Structure 1
Amino acid sequence: MPVWLPPSVRAYLAHTEDGTSIRALARRSGLHPSTILRQVRRTETLRDDPLADAALTRLGRILRQATASGPNTVSHTGEMLPMIASNDNEARLARDGMRALRALLEPETILVIADGVEDAVVVRNSGDGRPLRRAVVGRDVAEALALREFIAGNVTGRLARYAITAAGRAEARRLLAETESRRASSRGQAEDTDAAEDDDAYTPIGKPQGVRKRSAGAESPLHVLARRKRGDGDAWLSPDLVAAGMRFRENWEIARLGGGMSRDWGEIVAGRVSSGGGAQPNGRPTRRLEAEQALAAAIKALGPDLAETVLMGVCEEQGMEDIEG
């Protein structure tokens, strides 16, 4: 089972799929049977949510297959992904889950997913009726967030809309605090060892590794500039430029799905962002390939210097004081 599964979900699966009695689960965990029963009943109510229900169904199916095949075959079953098993998948779920939660901290932001679609999109109300995409994550990431009750929402037809919960806000801030702590530790070590910072961080050419990120819940630099006015009263950034920036960020997020995009900042600034993904069986390019092509074209049109600034400000969400430093 994934390490992130809450104890209540573990108890529910052990009871409903393995057939373990409530009293046996209580003895095993050191809790009162009534506590285990409440955990099981609470988890059962999560099935009213389509994402949580899908996650529980998948986990239950894998447990049944594991029981039928024996304990030594669990990690080899074809179903043992993407929300179960390997360390790589655990890391991806944690990384993408944090991206989604961080985006959901912003005001008027929701996660939207349609029935039968493999990607969930975090969108923000732009104020003019047009949604702005803040992040794109896999369905399995959204399922994990719903199962852990970090997001909650409702379904209208084929479309489900989710907002971050109090538990989700607490988790996002905890993860961001841990990330900042790791970065601070890495900066201290780098002074003596020249060690690289976090593997998830893209280190710009000629920039110090100790770059500060915006605080949890703060607006992105793009949105801050979009609200500012010039001396003549005109917007600092026109709606078209803001929309272009959000498309750039959207293509960046989609191109990064699967972790195949180059992590070399010099390669990215030069527009070489291809992950090597090809077309679908019908010959049409995949959505990720389209995003990579659009991102590469935009970077080349901007030129290396401006592209680096846009990547740091729009995608990495660093402030201008850090970009210019």
Structure 2
Amino acid sequence: MENSTAFTVPAWVPEGAQRYLAHTEAGRSIRDLARSAGCHASTILRQIRRIEMRRDDPLVDKALQSLAETHFPGAGNETASGPFFGVGDDPHRIPNAEDEAFEREALRVLRRLCETGAVLAVAEDMEKAVVVRDSGEGSTTRTAVVDCKTAQALALKDWIVCDNPGRVSRYRITQTGRTALSQLIADAENRARTQTEYGMAEAPAKFKTRNQADEKRPRRIRYCAAESPLIALSRRRDRDGKPFLDESLVRAGERLREDFELAQIGPRVTQNWDRFLTAGGCAGFEGDAPVARGSSEARDRVALALSDLGPGLSDVALRCCCYLEGLELAEKRMGWSARSGKIVLRIALQRLKRHYEKQAECDRLIG
């Protein structure tokens, strides 16, 4: 009698890793996997060997161990005929909450890693990793905190890579990761547009990059489109040759963005940030909405900073630092004259820097 036990894995797990786990943990033979996939056994063998060779990477090794412990409990006692279902075997599978949470985190982390000089630093036996960016002159800036489970998944999908693993391994984004970031951004925009139109519109077309849309005239993109507008402005020089935004102003804007992103953690955010874009308004929660799962302290810090900036300055800070809107779009939406947004943004960042300095002084006085 055939064993009907099924082992399932999250939708984000690559096809090669699924088959590797099915072979090593569930005990399925290579020929059995090849028959299920409709390909030659040598194809499955190459995929399994490739995953095995990648286990020298500490994040990849820990990701496979975690998947084996979580999704293959007692697999060694099962027969080799038990089916293994994955994304490749079930094309109609609907991603669950775990898969959607991974996509949100991957989008946040990959955006940070696309910034110039950014790497993901992972230390041994630490539950958290950090994204740090080289700010020049030998200094670094922390731009994001990442759960190690998310970092392991990114490494398993080959979206990040480490050239020299050690006690503190530094991972950089790969070309595959940049392509995945473009797709994640497009999917997020499509979902947002579908929700705005209440599902009455036709299914949006898939996002295409400039190179895909016009292969005859490929254009080299110098910087990532997902990069923060503050980073782009910090490269500009004024009349004296100094950066238009110095590092302290960029750090103030990045701190606001980090708190804003921490406040978004969860399947649904009930904080109404859009009300900050209206003069005299303030953020709040929906009366009958469930309790948000994001960080309440992060929401409080964002609300306090935007309230201190006041109307106008809080608008441009929220749009450019948190929503990552370009200056031209922000000027158009707010009805400002061309090239005036960067001046207002710098004033807002100066006020924001002063706000955080005051908060630091208050914290030192306590106790």
Using the size of structure 2 for normalisation, the TM-score is: 0.65
Q: Distance in 1 between matches of 2:128 and 2:315?
A: 27
Q: Aligned residue for 1:164?
A: 173
Q: Aligned residue for 2:270?
A: 262
Which residue of 250, 254, 263 maps to 1:246? 254
Q: Distance in 2 between matches of 1:263 and 1:68?
A: 47
Say whether residues 1:322 and 2:332 are aligned partners: no
Which residue of 100, 111, 118 maps to 1:102? 111
Residue 244 of structure 1: how far off its partner (Å): 1.2
Q: Aligned residue for 2:137?
A: 128
Using the size of structure 1 for normalisation, the TM-score is: 0.73
Q: Which runs of 5+ in 1 are unaligned?
A: 71-84, 198-213, 279-286
Contact 1:176–1:216 (8 Å) recurs in 2: no
Which residue of 2, 7, 14 maps to 1:6? 14
Q: Aligned residue for 1:207?
A: none
| Alignment coverage as a number of residue pairs | 282
2:329 alignment partner AA? D
Contact 2:25–2:75 (8 Å) recurs in 1: no
2:133 alignment partner AA? R
Q: Distance in 1 between matches of 2:291 and 2:187?
A: 33
Contact 2:257–2:322 (8 Å) recurs in 1: yes
Q: Aligned residue for 2:31?
A: 23
Q: Which runs of 5+ in 2 are unaligned?
A: 1-8, 79-93, 205-220, 334-367
Q: Aligned residue for 1:225?
A: 233
Say whether residues 1:113 and 2:122 are aligned partners: yes
1:89-133: CA deviation from partner (whole Å, max 9, x where unpaired): 211101211222233223222112333433333222111322233
Residue 215 of structure 1: how far off its partner (Å): 11
Which residue of 112, 119, 137 maps to 2:146? 137
Residue 66 of structure 1: how far off its partner (Å): 6.5
Q: Distance in 2 between matches of 1:179 and 1:215?
A: 24
C-alpha root-mean-square deviation of aligned residues, in Å?
A: 3.6
Residue 148 of structure 1: how far off its partner (Å): 0.8
- Secondary structure of 2:231's match? helix
1:96 alignment partner AA? E
Contact 2:262–2:298 (8 Å) recurs in 1: yes
1:170-194: CA deviation from partner (whole Å, max 9, x where unpaired): 222233344455667778x58x979
1:156 alignment partner AA? G
Per mean C-alpha deviation after superposition, the further-off stretch among 252-261 and 238-247 is 252-261
- Secondary structure of 2:28's match? coil
Which residue of 305, 311, 322 maps to 2:318? 311
- Matched residues, percent identical? 39
1:46-92: CA deviation from partner (whole Å, max 9, x where unpaired): 2211221111111111233265999xxxxxxxxxxxxxx97222111
Residue 261 of structure 1: how far off its partner (Å): 4.8
- Secondary structure of 1:135's match? strand
1:48 alignment partner AA? D
In structure 2, relative to structure 1, the CA distance for the partners of 1:321 and 1:186 (3 Å cut) is farther
Q: Which has the larger radius of gyration?
A: 2
Q: Distance in 1 between matches of 2:265 and 2:300?
A: 14
Residue 317 of structure 1: how far off its partner (Å): 0.9
Q: Distance in 1 between matches of 2:158 and 2:241?
A: 44
Residue 293 of structure 1: how far off its partner (Å): 4.1
